Structure formats: C-alpha cells, structure tokens
Chain A
Amino acid sequence: MPDVSFTVDGKKLTAPAGTLLIEACKTAGIEIPAFCYYPGLSLQAACRMCVVRQEKVPKLQTACTTPVAEGQVFFTDTPEIVQARKATLQLLLGNHPLDCPVCDAGGECELQDMTFKYGAADSFYAEPKNHREEQKWSPVVYFDRPRCILCYRCVRMCGEGMDVFALGVENRGSSAVIAPNVPAGLAPDHLNHVDCEQCGMCIDACPVGALTSGTYRYKTRPWEMNHVATVCTHCGDGCKTTLGVRSTTDGAEIVRGDNRDRSGINDDFLCNKGRYAFDFANHADRIQQPLVRKAGKLEPVSWEEAFTHIGKKFRELRDAKGGDSFGVIGGNRLTNEEAYLLQKFARTVIGTNNIDHHRTADHVTFAQALIGHKDRTASLRDTKTAKSILIFGGDPTNQSPATAWNLRTNIRNNGAKLFVVNTEEIKLRRQAKAFVRLAPFGYGAMAAFLNGDDASGPSAVSNVEALAGFRDTLKATEGLLILIGSELRGSELKALIEFGLTLPGAKFALLSDYVNSKGAADMGLLPDMLPGYTPVGSEIFAEYKAPAQAGLGLLEIFDAAAAGSLSALYIVGSNPVLRYGVEPASLKNTFVVVQDLFMTETAVLADVVLPAANLYEKGGSVTNHYGDLQLVKKAGDRAGVRTDFEMIVRIADKMDAHIPTLIPFGKGLRADMGQTRGAQSGEADRHAVWLTAQNLEPRLSPFDPFAILDEIQRLVPGYDILRLQLLSGNDQHLEPAASQPLVQIGARRDLVLPSGDTLFTSGTLGHYSDMLIDLQQNSRREQLPILDQTAAD
C-alpha cells in the first residue's frame, strides 16, 4: 500500500493507506485507549474508548475501525473526546466491582489505568451493582463475572487465535455475559468437548481482572514480585515467559508465569506450560542436599565432601581404566554453556568421546543435509510471515504450541497457505489448503514420492492422482516453509530435505521436544560430533587435544555398562533409565553420578546425586529447535542447589584439571600467560587474541557462563552471535553446521526418540508439575455431574 499523509492533533503523519488509525497513532507515539481492540484479532468497535473526531464527519469515529486515507484530519484529545471516554469509564465503573485492593489485576489493569488517566472517579448511581457468581472454567482459569467489561477479547482470542472456540456470549444487554460453550446443564468447566488447550491466552488478553489464573490468584500483588523475562524450559519453541518471583526463606518462589511484556520471540503467545508449569521449581520433592551412597544408602553430605568424592573417584577411574571407560550423558534443558562445557569436560578432562544426550529429533541429519546451503533454516518468526507452509509430520498444536499459534495467525491475517502431510488427523489440518493423510509409517514413501519416485505413492496414500497434484502444487510454491516432525529421521529426513532444496527459497525447521534439544546437539553432546556438527578430530577444535575416534552413543554406553566395561557414568539433567528402559542392575558395577532436580528413576540408582538448579535458576543461553538463540535469565535462587555449570567446574577442579583451560577466565591468568607463551613459542593464545579483537574483557570467574559463551562464539561454527541482540533480550537465528561434509555414521542404532509430549506433559520434569498433572486429569474427565440449574444470572 502506498503511504498517505494525514494529520493527528496537528501533527503530520504518514502511514500505508488503509492502516488503522489506532495503529498509525501508536507508531507515532500517540496513545489512543481501547479495551476491545486487540491487534491481529477481528475488530469489535464495542468499547467506544478509541473515539476520535474526524474533520467533516458528524459523529465521533472509532480509531480502531478507521483506515487512514490521504488528507484526513483527526483530533484525539479534545475536551469532547476526553468527556466521551470519561463517560464510558463512568458507565463501566457503575457495574464494575471496585474490589481493586484484592483483585489480581490490581496494578496491571487497563480499566484502572484509564480511570487514572481520565479521572472518572465520580459516580451518580445509587443502585446496587449487578452481581453474578464467579465461575471456575478449569484448574487454571477462573472467571470473576462482575469484573468483566465485555470487550470480547477472550472470545476472539479463543476462537480466532486458538481455533478452540470455547467461549461465547450469553444473554443480551446488561445481562450479557461471557460464557463457556459447554453443553446445556453442565458445569462451566466442562470444556473437554471443545479441546480447550488451557493456554490461558484469555487471561492474558483480559484487560481487567475478570479472568484470573488458578495458579496465581490471590497469591500476591504484582508490585511485590520481581518480573524476570526468561525462556520457558518446556517445549522446543523456546518462548519467552516472564516469571513473577517472590523471595522466600529458602530462596525464591515463582508465583506466576505470563507474557507480560510481549517482547519475546513468541510475541503475544504463551501456552499452558509457559504460563503455569513452573511449579516444579517449588515442588516439595526438590533435592536440596548432595547425596552420596554409603553402605548402599544415599546419605546427605556436604558439597565439599560430594565434590571431593566424585573428583577422587573420577580421577582414579580415568587414570586406572582410561577415559573411554567413562560415559557422559547430558540433557535437553541445559543451557548451551552447560552443554558445551559438559562435552568439553568429557573430551578434555576425562578424555573420551563417549558422550550423548536423549535426542528428541535427528538434528544431526538435519544439519548434514543442509551443509553448503545458506539461509535455508527457518526461524520461529518465519512461521508468522511465510506465504506457504508445509507441515510434514509432527503436531505443532500439541508439541509446539507457539508454532501453531503463529501459523494460525499468519493464515488468518496474511492469507498464508498451509499444507499438511501427516499420518494422523492433526488439528492444524482445519486451517490447511490441503491435507494428505498418510498410511502409518508413510513418511519415507511420501518423501520418496515427492522426489519423483511415483511407485512410492501408493504406499503413502491411496489416492495417488491427487497426490501427484499435491506434489505439483508444492513444486510451484516459492519460499515454502517446511516444518518437519521429529518422526522423520535419517534417510527419510534427508530425502525430504533433498526435495525441499529443489524448491526455490524453501526453508526448513526440524521440530523437537525441549527448550534446548537443538542446543544440546549444536553444542556437541554427541559421540561423533564436536560442537557445530564438526566431525571429531576436526582442526577447528585442535586445542581440545581430544580423541579423534567417535565415542559410544547413549545406548552403547548402557550396553558397555551391562558388559561391565563402563567404569563411570556422569549424567547431567537427563533420565535415561526411564526414557530408554535401562535395566537398573546393569549399572551396578559403574560409578554413577547424577545431577538433577529430583530423585528420578536414574538418580535413585546413582552413587552420588547432586541437586541441580533448573533453567529458571540460572543464566546462559538456549537455542530453540528453529535455531533461534535466546538469553536465559536467572529468576531466583534456591537454597541447596547449584547450577550444572558450577558443578561441572567444581568436579573438574577436584580432578585437578587446569581450570583456565577448561573455562577461559581471568585477567592475567590464561590471557596473560597466553600472550607470554605466544611471544615465546610463536603459538598465540587464540582465545585472548579473539577477546581483544571482539573488544571483550576476560571473564573474572570460572563460574561465569559467559566465559564459555565467549569460547562458543569463537569456536562453534554458526554461533557467530550478535552480543547486543542477545543481551538486550532479543532472539537471533543461527545456522550451525560445519562447512565440510560430515562423517557418515553407518550401522548405528537409531538414537532418536521423540518424547511425544502433549499439551499437558513435559518429560520427566512434567511429572513434578502438579499443575500439568491437574490439567492432564482435567482433560481426561469424561462427564461431570449435571447441575440442578445453571448459575443464576
């Protein structure tokens, strides 16, 4: 649209023709108040707060429905308009219960803010306010009906935004009330039939305190919390969640998760996990003391004793049986810095490539297939703007809710075209232009068919003729965004990417399960890959002086344990015993050290258990499954736990490792020594040289994750980070992949095991979220007792 010029309050503004006045004004810094207007959702013009005066138009106009055109003249702040807004507020306040002192939204309420601005404090009414009983819609959503100002944001959010349509309007006039779409005669929380996702977006959208969260309501006042914007630990989308944290006697308590500043990669969106499933952090089963097995029993010990014990055992076993008798397993919820440090520790301190993690998707093949192709990996942000999207496997609605939200938004507001290929009838097919329902395990055949193998068509789907048409459509699509489910791996994944690479401008993303699943692979928690999918033995990591042979994979590590050849196993933030069904007896001859939050199925078998901080209790960075890097901020402390980062450093120290080599920290230590050494031997301290070139100071503490981030940025292909972006809380898209062909690993067992989490599960961590468990049970309810009568209203 061409730009047009118009005047607002005497200021000349320009905006693309057709821009809504309210948006044009926002861009120009002119605030026009509105309750019902919500960017991206359909227009209501119901609250009448955004009224403005347009020259030559007899009535006041609503800025939310007025598209700007050339030469228009508007006034947004005249006495007439101020009076109109004030009167509207007076009308609202007439029935609004002024229970602000106990209202969850007190201090964060748009109605309060507007009243503050327009001063509608006087009242003319002598009659009682309308009252209705509060309703519980779910364990996490409560509706305080009298507080509702009927802006319909929740109705639209649920219907248009979520494609759930759980909410509607009942009655009319002053009796009108938002009501859940439950069958007649059932309690208002009987929302199963509409597949309510419990996302809580209705709460976020509510401008007042009518919708409140079951986890937060009546717990605290907003100004009594610290608000920490960090990254949700659950699924692979890596949304920004703002945690409301209060101090307690043993550290901090997270009392709320929400999307307060909407500044993250997820923009408006946050799902139920980001919003409610932080409660594992406060779970009573958190381990808060190191435990060492003594006479067959895990006994609490001091940190010093635990570290000394581990250091001594690790050192002895390494020296006696060799580094390759060790296995190291990392986790999907570690920060990049921790994952990187863990593999560096394994490779340089222990001296083994026997390192792996629970792989939730085949990121290795993904990286391998895209070597040599620039700008082919998609960012989460691309899902909001791509003109055409192909979902091949996976179920974003359940597994990556922010992805699903973006797709719906993109389709609704930009007319993007969605194609879905799946063995299941996933919900996003409802928005799809075309849906190909594959036979079970049909992905490989479908990928082959797309690549031109017409014979494969029939084994993927019955109507082959339509399938050929579908292939033609995809081939004619430019800039296709291909979202690949974690069901695809190895040759199937490769074949699909090969097909996609023939399409001009196609981009890819491989969806996996947890916040740093991709980061774990990127950081080289792999037996055959160094960070950045660099083959072991590569020159890039020469300074590691690590073994050049690939190590044991996760299953091989447990095989080795069962065979009695694994002397030690170091597990950091992972529960392989449950996930892979490891036989507990197989670990009886192995010295097992586990760092975790809880006494998981793995931890109970350990010789030493170290209580770990979770993602909300530490700093660092994570990489979502799109390859978007984001900063993790520490929300609060917890007594008795330490970060995995610190524990790795402490163990390395107790093993007499040279810490400045493991963690490049300290002015005058390594940096200075390097210069001296470089001057003498001709071998420059590359890190110090790099730091100088980057204008960075050496880190002063070996526990500073940024010391390792410096090294990641220096060494890991693809992690050429823009610091300013990262530090200012923005996401940035990375494409890690070594520029050379990677070592092909043949005949190894398939190590990829998608966790198959749903909206209400989150791996082992989810077992410790009471809220997720509640929501699971809530979603399984079959039938509720029919009430004698619906609530009186």
Chain B
Amino acid sequence: MPTLVSHPDEVKVLSRRFGQGAANIDKYLELDGYKAVQQAIAEGPAWIIDTMKASGLRGRGGAGFPTGLKWSFVPKNDKAKYVLVNGDESEPGTCKDHVIFREDPHAVIEGTMIAGLAIGSKLGFIYLRGEYRYLLKIVEKAVAEAYERGFLGKNIFGTGVDFDIITQTGAGAYEVGEESALMESLEGKRGVPRIKPPFPAVVGLYGGPTVINNAETIASAPHILLMGGPAYAALGSERNGGTRLFGISGHVERPGVYELPMGYNLKKAIYEVAGGVKGGKKLKAVVPGGSSCPVLLPDELDVGLDFDQMGKAGTMLGSGGIVVLDETVSIVEFALRVISFYQHESCGWCIPCREGTDWIKKTLTRVYEGGGQKKDVANVQYLAENMMGRTFCPLGDAAAMPTLGFVKKFRQEFEDYIDGKKAGTPIITEQLHVGAH
C-alpha cells in the first residue's frame, strides 16, 4: 500500500479527507460528510446541474467531457435511470481512483447519490476493476454503513427519496474502462464496447438512460456542491475547473498522488512537487497522462496540466498518470512494454486494434530481441498510423498514439538500437524470419 504524500503546492479539495480515516462513516460525517447530498435533495436537480456546470468540472477519466453538461443530457422521462461509477482504473501509470476508494469511499457514495438526484435515478452502481478487489471490502463496508444510517435505501435522510447502490467488480479487462463495455460487463456479458449512438445518456445500462462517470469525477461532486461551482472553477485554469489528482510515478524522488490545480505546470509538478528526477539522473521523457498519451521530451514540459494546454502540446492530459523516465530507460523496451499492454488488453472486437496491436508487438519484440531491420521502424509507424481513428473504440488510438510518439520522437534511438550501437545485449531468438507471407 503506498503511503500518502503531500506538497505545499497542493490544493486539497478532493483529498482533504485523505489520511484521516474517513472510510469510517463517523469520521466522514465529522468532516462535512453527507451534507452536500442533503443540500442537493433540498435544492433539486436543476440546482445540482447548474452548480456542476458552473464548476467547470471535466471528466477525470481522461476524455475531459464537461460533467454538468453530461448530466443535463439525460432525458426527463419515466424510464429507469442509472448512475454508474467507473472505477475500472486500468490505464498504466494511473493510481488516483484507488486512493479515493481507500481513503474516502463515502465521497464516491455521496457523489453517486448526487448524480442520481440530478438525473432522477434511484439506483447507482460502483464498478471496480477486477484487480481492485481488495478495495471492494472498504467500499462495501462504506455502503453498508450508509445503509445502516438510512443514507441509502428507502426514504433516505427521511426525505422520501429512495436511492440504492450496488457494487461490482470486473474480471480483469482494461477494455471495460470504456463506458459501454463496462455496461456490457456489468450486465454479465463479454466486455466489448457498444455501437454509439445511442449514447449512454439515452440508452445505457439495461437499456435505461445512464450517467457514467469516472470515480474521481463523482467524488468531486460533493465538494463542488459544498463550495459552490464558481469557487471550484476558480481553482483551476480557463475552461478547466478545479483541481485533480495526479499520480506521479517512475524516476522521481517523491512518487505519489498529488492534488494540484488544473493548469499547474508540468515541469514544476515533476521537479518541485515530486522532487525531480531520482538520483539526479538526466530526464529522458515524460508520459504525461497515462500510457496512452504521446510522450513528451524534456524541452516540452513547460506546459499547464489541463485538457486544452496538453492538447495544444500534442499530447493529452488523460488520466493524470505522469510517468517520468530517466536516461537509463530504453525507449525501445518502453515502447514494447506499452504496446504489450494494449495487445494483451485489446478485446479483439475490431480488426485494426486486434491485429494492429499484435503486429506492432510482434515487430517490436523482434527489434528488442535484436532481430530488427531498418524498415521495422517505418512499419511500426505505418501500423500505428493506420490504427489511428479507425478502430471501434478508443483503445486502438490509445495503443497507436504512444507508439507514434515513440517512433517519431525517438526514431534515431530505434535505428541505433537496430544497428546495434546501443541497447545492452539484445537476445537473438530462433524464430526471427520464419513464416513471412
């Protein structure tokens, strides 16, 4: 279990109860717990959505879609509606949601209730990734406590409102982090994504209108209601309201999850907040928002950590998982490690992702093992370029984008590696040139 870290530059909104035992409902109540939801019940759905819109909160799963707007899309009809908390945190380099589940599970529960109130839902689901089964106990205990206190179930807080929460874990598939695949998984089916439209807000879980949000997004909602939308928005940068948890890992002195204002400078985050490159080594590259984001070079780090500025810098804010690589890292090996993950996690539904990740992995494996040819770099780039934008769901892009980043920005290193100038001791395998068609 990683220990909590902290830094003076942090703005603790979401993380303000971390480390204080807030998983216990009494402690949570002591720290203003379940106040926001009661206010939400009193004020009504329009107020909740207006507050969320004013907060400028954008989806923390990585896509950055404005949360208030998303909630407002749910049609006002008689169909059963659902709130779905996406806790399938699987993007390599990302470890923020698990801290929330561990340190402040009631915030997720309260946020789920708020989202439910906003859209007229009576049932929420908290879906944890299969590998987070150890967190399920904490979350389930919190849910049970909320039921005991009458915060969940029939007539919550004696207001006549009903709301239930069901918890569920996945079975170990990155793909079900994609919202529609998660719904398939939750419905007990194969975790493959659905055709959109219809979008979940209209036809989602079990065919009902569904709001699905990342766990961090949901957990932010109670804080936003308590402090007010504009106050939350003012914490962040333009069009990127509030703060967010950044998981800084890799070769830094003080790795950990830090809550920084949106728009905080990436270079500062690495060198000041996380204490700089470990052991005083030279920085080689930074993966800024989870492994699917194109890599940044040391001279590209002077950029604000928000969705728009990162987009302008040719990469993505993503899931806030910043991975720092020092000079000892072989990009060839790192690229192979990244593509291996996506190859393993591709659901196999569509051709470009299923076959593309596999062939990139095979090619990079051969390169890594010392059998590379010059044209392999171009081939990898060709494969990645032909996956981009053509796959059924974003997983294909998530695999192609970093690959393109590596081969474009470190082309020379790949070529040198193939020429044998660098890269330790490549292992020659027997299978190298067998079976070409």
Which residues in A have some Cβ–Cβ distance to B below 8 Å?
43-48, 51, 58-60, 65, 83-84, 87-88, 90-95, 98, 123-130, 149-150, 169, 171-176
Contact B348 A43 (CB under 8 A): no
State A129–B347 Cα separation when bound (angstroms).
Answer: 19
Other than the known A45-B195, A176-B354, what 20 A-B pairs have Cβ atoms closer than 8 Å? Answer: A43-B195, A45-B392, A46-B349, A46-B350, A83-B386, A87-B382, A91-B352, A91-B359, A91-B386, A92-B351, A92-B355, A94-B359, A123-B436, A124-B383, A126-B366, A127-B363, A149-B351, A169-B348, A172-B345, A173-B343
Q: Say whether, besides A87-B352, A91-B351, A128 and B346 are in contact (CB < 8 Å).
A: no
State A128–B355 Cα separation when bound (angstroms).
Answer: 13
Contact B348 A174 (CB under 8 A): yes
Contact A47 B350 (CB under 8 A): yes
Contact B195 A65 (CB under 8 A): yes
State A510–B379 Cα separation when bound (angstroms).
Answer: 63
Contacts of B350 in A (CB 8 A): 45-48
Contact A174 B366 (CB under 8 A): no
Contacts of A51 in B (CB 8 A): 390
State A92–B434 Cα separation when bound (angstroms).
Answer: 18
Question: Measured between C-beta atoms, what is the minimum distance from A208 to chain B in Å?
Answer: 13
User: Which one of A45, A47, A126 has the highest number of Cβ atoms from chain B below 10 Å of its Cβ?
Assistant: A126
Contact A172 B348 (CB under 8 A): yes
From A60, A91, A123, B437 is in contact (CB under 8 Å) with A123
From A43, A84, A125, A175, B386 is in contact (CB under 8 Å) with A84
Contacts of B389 in A (CB 8 A): 58-60
State A51–B396 Cα separation when bound (angstroms).
Answer: 15
Q: Say whether, besides A93-B437, A173-B358, A60 and B348 are in contact (CB < 8 Å).
A: no
Q: Say whether, besides A48-B350, A171-B348, A173-B343, A125 and B392 are in contact (CB < 8 Å).
A: no
Contact B431 A124 (CB under 8 A): no
Q: Say whether, besides A87-B352, A126-B432, A172 and B347 are in contact (CB < 8 Å).
A: yes
Say whether B312 faces chain A, with CB atoms less than 8 Å apart: no
Contact B362 A127 (CB under 8 A): yes
Question: Measured between C-beta atoms, what is the minimum distance from A400 to chain B in Å?
Answer: 33
Say whether B173 faces chain A, with CB atoms less than 8 Å apart: yes
State A44–B354 Cα separation when bound (angstroms).
Answer: 15
State A124–B431 Cα separation when bound (angstroms).
Answer: 16
Contacts of B358 in A (CB 8 A): 95, 130, 173-174
User: Which one of B173, B348, B352, B432 has the highest number of Cβ atoms from chain A below 10 Å of its Cβ?
Assistant: B348
Contact A127 B437 (CB under 8 A): no
Question: Measured between C-beta atoms, what is the minimum distance from B268 to chain A in Å?
Answer: 33
Contact A94 B392 (CB under 8 A): no
Contacts of B382 in A (CB 8 A): 87, 124
State A175–B346 Cα separation when bound (angstroms).
Answer: 10
Q: Interface of chain A, helix or strand or loop or mixed?
A: loop
Say whether B344 faces chain A, with CB atoms less than 8 Å apart: yes
Contacts of B363 in A (CB 8 A): 124-127
Nearest residue, chain B, Cβ from A89: B351
Q: Say whether, besides A129-B437, A174-B357, A84 and B390 are in contact (CB < 8 Å).
A: yes
Question: Measured between C-beta atoms, what is the minimum distance from B175 to chain A in Å?
Answer: 8
Contact A174 B355 (CB under 8 A): yes
Contacts of A93 in B (CB 8 A): 437
Leading 9 A-B pairs by shortest Cβ distance: A176-B348, A128-B435, A87-B386, A91-B355, A174-B358, A173-B346, A127-B362, A124-B379, A173-B348
State A84–B173 Cα separation when bound (angstroms).
Answer: 28
Question: Measured between C-beta atoms, what is the minimum distance from B299 to chain A in Å?
Answer: 29
Contact B436 A94 (CB under 8 A): no
Contact B356 A91 (CB under 8 A): yes
Q: Say whether, besides A174-B357, A176-B348, A129 and B391 are in contact (CB < 8 Å).
A: no
Nearest residue, chain B, Cβ from A96: B437
Question: Measured between C-beta atoms, what is the minimum distance from B103 to chain A in Å?
Answer: 33
From B347, B355, B375, A94 is in contact (CB under 8 Å) with B355
State A88–B390 Cα separation when bound (angstroms).
Answer: 9
From B190, B354, B366, B373, A173 is in contact (CB under 8 Å) with B354
Taking CB atoms and an 8 Å cut-off, the chain B residues in 355-402 that contact chain A are 355-359, 362-363, 366, 371, 373, 375, 379, 382-383, 386, 389-392
Nearest residue, chain A, Cβ from B373: A126
Contacts of B356 in A (CB 8 A): 91
Contacts of B355 in A (CB 8 A): 91-92, 94-95, 174
From A88, A124, A149, A169, B352 is in contact (CB under 8 Å) with A88
Contacts of A46 in B (CB 8 A): 349-351, 392
Contact A172 B351 (CB under 8 A): no
Question: Measured between C-beta atoms, what is the minimum distance from A781 to chain B in Å?
Answer: 29
Contacts of A91 in B (CB 8 A): 351-352, 355-356, 359, 383, 386
State A87–B178 Cα separation when bound (angstroms).
Answer: 25
Contacts of A84 in B (CB 8 A): 386, 390
Contact A48 B437 (CB under 8 A): no
Contacts of B421 in A (CB 8 A): none
Contacts of B392 in A (CB 8 A): 45-46, 48
Question: Measured between C-beta atoms, what is the minimum distance from B342 to chain A in Å?
Answer: 9
Per-residue contact bits, chain B 418-437, to A (CB 8 Å; 1 contact, 0 not): 00000000000001111111
State A123–B375 Cα separation when bound (angstroms).
Answer: 12
Question: Measured between C-beta atoms, what is the minimum distance from A394 to chain B in Å?
Answer: 34
Contact A173 B345 (CB under 8 A): yes
Question: Measured between C-beta atoms, what is the minimum distance from A700 to chain B in Å?
Answer: 58
Contact A172 B346 (CB under 8 A): yes
Question: Measured between C-beta atoms, what is the minimum distance from B188 to chain A in Å?
Answer: 14
State A150–B355 Cα separation when bound (angstroms).
Answer: 11
State A405–B259 Cα separation when bound (angstroms).
Answer: 59
State A131–B35 Cα separation when bound (angstroms).
Answer: 59
Nearest residue, chain B, Cβ from A84: B390
State A43–B435 Cα separation when bound (angstroms).
Answer: 35
Contact A48 B195 (CB under 8 A): no
Nearest residue, chain A, Cβ from B361: A174
Question: Measured between C-beta atoms, what is the minimum distance from A717 to chain B in Å?
Answer: 53
Contact A48 B352 (CB under 8 A): yes
State A129–B355 Cα separation when bound (angstroms).
Answer: 11
State A44–B435 Cα separation when bound (angstroms).
Answer: 31
State A84–B352 Cα separation when bound (angstroms).
Answer: 10
Nearest residue, chain A, Cβ from B350: A46
State A45–B356 Cα separation when bound (angstroms).
Answer: 17
Question: Measured between C-beta atoms, what is the minimum distance from B343 to chain A in Å?
Answer: 6
State A641–B344 Cα separation when bound (angstroms).
Answer: 62
Contacts of B433 in A (CB 8 A): 126
State A44–B195 Cα separation when bound (angstroms).
Answer: 7
State A392–B338 Cα separation when bound (angstroms).
Answer: 61
Contacts of B373 in A (CB 8 A): 126
Nearest residue, chain A, Cβ from B173: A172
Q: Say whether, besides A125-B363, A172-B173, A98 and B437 are in contact (CB < 8 Å).
A: yes
Contact A173 B357 (CB under 8 A): yes
Contact A125 B362 (CB under 8 A): yes
Contacts of B390 in A (CB 8 A): 48, 51, 60, 84, 87-88
Per-residue contact bits, chain B 89-107, to A (CB 8 Å; 1 contact, 0 not): 0000000000000000000
8 CB < 8 A contacts A-B: A45-B195, A60-B389, A87-B382, A87-B386, A91-B359, A125-B359, A150-B348, A174-B358
State A133–B371 Cα separation when bound (angstroms).
Answer: 28
Contacts of B175 in A (CB 8 A): 172
State A123–B363 Cα separation when bound (angstroms).
Answer: 13
State A127–B358 Cα separation when bound (angstroms).
Answer: 11
Question: Measured between C-beta atoms, what is the minimum distance from B428 to chain A in Å?
Answer: 14
State A58–B392 Cα separation when bound (angstroms).
Answer: 14
Nearest residue, chain B, Cβ from A86: B386
Nearest residue, chain B, Cβ from A91: B355
Contacts of B435 in A (CB 8 A): 127-129
Contact B351 A169 (CB under 8 A): no
State A171–B175 Cα separation when bound (angstroms).
Answer: 13
Question: Measured between C-beta atoms, what is the minimum distance from A107 to chain B in Å?
Answer: 20
Contacts of A124 in B (CB 8 A): 359, 363, 375, 379, 382-383
Contacts of B391 in A (CB 8 A): 48
Nearest residue, chain B, Cβ from A90: B386
Contacts of B375 in A (CB 8 A): 124
Question: Measured between C-beta atoms, what is the minimum distance from A28 to chain B in Å?
Answer: 24
